């Protein structure tokens, strides 16, 4: 057997074994992922029916197809470039993303951000599966299967079981699944794109909003579909980049992750917008049937794969969030529990259309969480600490950790970022329609407000009492190998 064949057999063996890694640093011997594999992981995670449906929001808001494309390009490119920076944290340290949050929030101060992020992750599993289920059952109905509750629950069970198994196996299974399936699905998507262009009556420049209404619609699309979808992956970025080979150039990991995210988001977003521009029907399932009827089975595979490819990362990363939040549990067992909880959420969606609509309206408004948290972590890790960490201190007690127990400055900055984001937010749910956004007739700059106010508050608080760490952390076994004297940090609280 050739060296390539042996390597593929070894990769398959790893994929079929349960990954035992939790939030501890990945040993160099287990870091064998390539930049190209990172590309397929993030491309696959975003080739989802959710992005497809989200792309249709622009025309539904009254924007023309051209306007929608320009806004999505700018927003998704910005979000993906910001997201790429977070992958460098895992590449340099071998540590999961929320565990790295202990640098910013302290050993116990990080518990709340981690657990909240874990809960959001579980919610997204239900949302992604529900959106895919709606499209999948419609395709099955077109193939002759009854449009019944039994069909719906059966398809839901199949999707949940597949993603639960792969997500529970862990990183190596996710990597292998994306590596072999995503290129095939990309080819099917290319055919679907050709059909959408050739069969659909695409309207490029028809816009029903002008003046202040145009600004409002553009800001909503920028927040929900532009910045939000790409940057929204930041809390899980290092969970996967920590497995990359130490010798791979950082720029390769950065661009592979950023481009994988951007290309998938932009491609599906444009396809969804093009489909919506050619029809007055806003039901995504009926749009799919009208344009891709001759490809119902391949389209069905794309839909199911899209749900699985995105959700396996959520099933894997949710327990990592809870572990970083101080909940002691085996990662694989946490994945199983996460899958069970997400299944219960999905069952609630299926039982009540009103509930799912309200829930999605709320979850879509949580871009302010990722923006506020991300701004603080990026400034702390990448700017103040120059992406260097005393890894031992991340796992030490609050009394001995260089990063302290509870960093109140960070939590205050997080709260200010959330409040500022809410004030500038104009979400679908009335609770997420802030006073400033209302005064601006619905203009939504929530993500920007969260980043600016949360980030600047943390920067000011962190720099207001600069503290040069010269002494070794009691948790460190590095005897000075971590260049603590070069890291400017505020005091531990």
Say what the pLDDT of residue 338 is. Answer: 92
Between CA 457 and CA 364 the distance in angstroms is 25
Q: Which domains does the chain have, with CATH numbers?
A: 34-367 (1.10.4160.10)
Torsion angle, alpha carbons of 483, 485, 491, 493, to 10: 10
DSSP SS3 for 350: helix
Instruction: Name residues whose C-beta falls within 8 Å of residue 349's C-beta, 6 or more positions apart in sequence.
Output: 126, 130, 355, 356, 359
User: Are the beta carbons of 453 and 425 closer than 8 angstroms?
Assistant: no
pLDDT the model gives residue 21: 95
**Tell me, what's the pLDDT at 486?**
34
248 Cβ neighbours under 8 A, 6+ residues apart: 34, 35, 91
- Among candidate residues 380, 378, 384, 393, the one with its CA nearest the CA of residue 468: 384
State in Å, rounded, how far the first CA of the chain is from the last one.
58
- Residue of 93, 84, 85, 100 lying closest to 28 (CA atoms): 93
CA separation, residue 83 to residues 41, 52, 100, 254, 481 (Å): 14, 20, 15, 9, 29
**Cα angle for residues 44, 48, 50 (degrees, 5° grid):** 150
Q: What's the CA gap between 231 and 216, in Å, rounded? A: 21
The per-residue DSSP string of 425-455 comes to -B-SSGGGB-HHHHHTTT---HHHHIIIIIH
Going from the C-alpha of 300 to that of each of 132, 169, 180, 188, the distances in angstroms are 9, 25, 18, 11
pLDDT of residue 229: 81
**Which runs of E-coded beta strand occur in 302-402?**
none
* Dist. CA 322–CA 343, nearest whole Å: 18
**pLDDT at 296 (0 to 100):** 66
Of 318, 484, 465, the C-alpha closest to 403 is 484
Radius of gyration of the chain (CA): 22
CA distance 261 to 244: 17
Give the C-alpha separation, 298 to 422, whole Å.
41
Average pLDDT, 10 consecutive residues per value, the chain (493 residues): 70 88 94 95 87 83 91 93 95 95 94 94 84 79 78 88 95 94 88 78 84 88 80 94 95 97 93 77 58 68 84 95 94 94 84 62 73 94 84 91 91 96 85 89 90 94 53 41 36 38
- Report strand pairing: 467-468 vs 488-489: antiparallel
């Amino acid at each position: 057997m050739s060296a390539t064949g042996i390597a593929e057999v070894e990769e398959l063996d790893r994929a079929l074994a349960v990954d035992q890694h939790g939030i501890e640093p990945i040993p160099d011997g287990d870091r064998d992922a390539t930049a190209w594999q990172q590309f397929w992981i993030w491309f696959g995670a975003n080739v989802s029916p959710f992005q497809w449906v989200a792309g249709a929001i622009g025309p539904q808001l009254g924007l023309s197809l051209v306007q929608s494309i320009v806004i999505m390009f700018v927003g998704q490119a910005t979000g993906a470039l910001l997201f790429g920076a977070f992958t460098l944290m895992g590449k340099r340290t071998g540590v999961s993303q929320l565990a790295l949050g202990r640098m910013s929030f302290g050993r116990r101060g990080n518990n709340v951000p981690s657990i909240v992020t874990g809960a959001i992750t579980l919610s997204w599993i239900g949302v992604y599966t529900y959106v895919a289920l709606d499209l999948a059952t419609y395709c099955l109905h077109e193939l002759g299967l009854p449009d019944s509750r039994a069909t719906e629950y059966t398809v839901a069970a199949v999707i949940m079981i597949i993603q639960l198994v792969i997500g529970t196996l862990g990183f190596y299974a996710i990597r292998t699944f994306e590596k072999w399936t995503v290129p095939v699905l990309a080819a099917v998507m290319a055919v679907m794109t050709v059909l959408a262009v050739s069969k659909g009556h695409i309207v490029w420049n028809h816009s029903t909003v002008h003046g202040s209404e145009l600004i409002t619609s553009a800001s909503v699309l920028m927040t929900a579909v532009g910045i939000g979808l790409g940057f929204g992956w930041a809390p899980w970025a290092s969970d996967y980049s920590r497995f990359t080979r130490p010798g791979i150039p950082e720029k390769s990991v950065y661009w592979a992750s950023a481009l994988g995210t951007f290309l998938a988001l932009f491609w599906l977003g444009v396809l969804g917008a093009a489909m919506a521009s050619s029809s007055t029907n806003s039901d995504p399932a009926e749009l799919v049937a009208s344009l891709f009827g001759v490809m119902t089975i391949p389209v069905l595979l794309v839909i199911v794969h899209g749900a699985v490819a995105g959700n396996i990362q959520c099933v894997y990363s949710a327990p990592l969030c809870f572990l970083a939040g101080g909940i002691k549990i085996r990662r694989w067992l946490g994945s199983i529990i996460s899958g069970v909880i997400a299944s219960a959420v999905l069952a609630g969606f299926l039982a009540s259309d009103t509930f799912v609509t309200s829930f999605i309206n709320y979850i879509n408004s949580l871009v302010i969480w990722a923006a506020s948290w991300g701004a603080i972590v990026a400034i702390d890790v990448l700017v103040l600490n120059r992406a260097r960490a005393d890894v031992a201190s991340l796992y030490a007690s609050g009394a001995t950790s260089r990063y302290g127990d509870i960093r109140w400055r960070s939590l205050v900055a997080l709260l200010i970022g959330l409040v500022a984001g809410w004030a500038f937010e104009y979400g679908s749910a009335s609770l997420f329609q802030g006073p400033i956004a209302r005064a601006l007739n619905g203009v939504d700059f929530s993500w920007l407000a969260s980043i600016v106010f949360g980030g600047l508050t943390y920067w000011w608080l962190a720099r207001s009492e600069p503290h040069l760490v010269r002494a070794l952390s009691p948790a460190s076994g590095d005897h000075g190998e971590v260049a603590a004297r070069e890291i400017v940090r505020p005091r531990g609280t």
